[in-house]
Amino acid sequence: MELQVVEHRLTDGEALELEPVPRVVYDVNADGAAYSTGSRAIKGPKHVLSFELTPKASDSALLGTSLALPIDEQRLIRCDRVDFPPGGVAYLHTHQGPGIRVLLHGSIRIETGGRSHDYGPFEAWFEPGPEPVFAAGSADEPTAFVRCMVLPAHLKGQRSIRYVRDEDADKPKPQRYTVFVDELLPEDP
């Protein structure tokens, strides 16, 4: 199974029919998201990010990655937005499942696996979940990204973040989270 994100920028009068796969469509301008498994029509003017679970990756995806998930465990799909004030950081942490993130505005530095990468608006990156990550938003402007994660079903309504260092768990967290979608996936997506 592939998790991918595809960006669609539709002009006024333009329409798009999306095939029936489990997906979350995030509307960039309306700052909202919806989950569906059936076919989906989108009409312009719209700017959307479609996070999709597909059998095969699309050539037009911003980013796609293969997921090897346990077949005997129910999963959910979560889409949320994370907002950092200027200078905000996410201390070294992990998540309980993989996901793709897309930066909406500002800039962000992601440090993981001994590497550091800076991302700008509408660039995407993948986090596998169990690998520790440190994130630093722009020093002089707000930063926000939207993400879609595939998580164990028992996390429905609960946070997936785990801090690597005990002392970081008690530090103030300047980031804000807005959850748009937290839905169980079909048994066989």
What pLDDT score does 75 carry? 95
Please state the domain count of the chain. 2
Single out the residue of 188, 134, 124, 125 nearest to residue 165, CA to CA: 134
Residue 163 lies in a domain: yes
Q: Does 113 fall in a domain?
A: yes
Residues 97 and 156 in one domain: yes
Same domain, 47 and 84: no
63 within some domain: no
Task: Please report the pLDDT score of residue 189 as a whole number.
Answer: 56
DSSP secondary structure letter of residue 167: H
In a domain, 172, yes or no: yes
Residues 82 and 35 in one domain: no
**pLDDT at position 183, please?**
97
Q: Specify the pLDDT at position 48.
A: 98
**70 assigned to some structural domain:** no
- Give the per-residue pLDDT at 45: 96
- Which residue type occupies 52? E
Do 175 and 88 belong to one domain?
Answer: yes
Pair (127, 97) in one structural domain: yes
Concatenated DSSP letters of 10-65: EPTT-EEEE-SSSEEEEETTTTEEEEESS-EEEESSEEEEEEEEESS--TT-SEEE
**Contacts by 155-158, CB closer than 8 A, 24 or more apart:** 155/76, 155/78, 155/96, 155/97, 156/76, 156/182, 156/184, 157/182
Asked, for residue 69, whether it belongs to a domain, the answer is no
Give the domain CATH number at 82.
2.60.120.10
- 49 inside domain: yes
81 with 151, same domain? yes
**Over the chain (189 residues), what is each successive 10-residue block's mean pLDDT?**
96 96 97 96 96 92 90 92 97 96 98 96 95 97 98 95 93 94 85
Q: Are residues 115 and 83 in the same domain?
A: yes
Q: Does residue 10 fall inside a structural domain? A: yes
Give residue 36's domain range.
2-56
The length of the chain, given as a count of residues:
189
pLDDT at 57: 84
Residue 102: predicted pLDDT: 99
41 and 110 share one domain: no
Residues facing residue 32 across a β-bridge: 27
pLDDT (0 to 100) of residue 109? 98
Domain shared by 98 and 179, yes or no: yes
